[in-house]
Amino acid sequence: MKRRAVLLAVLLASCGKPAPPPPPPVPAPATLAPALTRDIVMAYVASLLDPDLPKPEVGTAPSTDAALESLARSDLFAKKYGFPTFADYAEARRRVMLARLAWMKREIAKTSSGTLEIQIRMASDTLLNPDATEEQRKEATQSLNRAMELKKALEAPSASSTVAEEDIALVAEFADQISKAEEAAVRK
């Protein structure tokens, strides 16, 4: 978007017309209040290993009786792990997943930022080299575009950007346990 605005400004300036005003900045999403505690995260991890973990039922639409029975089973499951209702359990699960996504995004950004900068510098050097072949320029352009897209994606706000720092830190502390429990749950 910025690239287009700059290009448009340069083109209009060369035609003698004033450049349009820049677009307004996109506001950052509001941060959620911390919601996770050690007990909630540990209950969530334990619940993943439970053979009674509710799974979505595939098939025809359930009757009202079947839906009520399923809801009652889900509420009993949630209560087993200290949650008042299944809705509370589902909200805790959602918060853990968002915090985990935010933590993983940060980890990826930390490990790849240096590599991306090197990739961008090398591609730029190739594009600025007058002796580079057309094939080298094409590969450098593709490499530069991929690196810039990844860098932009890592810097862009997302749903995981709204997670409280305390929740992210707590989930980071339990990251290995959460991963192992999720893997075990998938294998069931």
pLDDT, tens only, 157-174: 666 678 888 999 999 999
pLDDT exceeds 70 at position 102:
yes
E strand or H helix at 2: helix 2-15
CA distances from 75 to 41, 88, 156 (A): 18, 9, 37
Is residue 127 within 8 Å of residue 68, measured between CB atoms?
Answer: no
Is residue 81 within 8 Å of residue 43, measured between CB atoms?
Answer: yes
Which pair of structure tokens corresponds to residue 72?
A: 């009652």
As a whole number of angstroms, the distance between CA 154 and CA 106 comes to 8
Tens of pLDDT, residues 26-77: 655 566 777 899 999 999 999 999 988 887 665 555 567 767 888 888 999 9
Kindly report the pTM of this predicted structure.
0.64
E strand or H helix at 79: helix 64-80
Residue type, 24: P
Q: Which of 19-23, 121-125, 161-165 has the lowest mean pLDDT?
A: 19-23
Q: Residue 93's pLDDT band (boundaries 50, 70, 90)?
A: very high
Is residue 11 within 8 Å of residue 140, measured between CB atoms?
Answer: no
Which pair of structure tokens corresponds to residue 63?
A: 């009757």
Shortest CA distance to 163 belongs to which of 7, 53, 12, 29?
Answer: 29
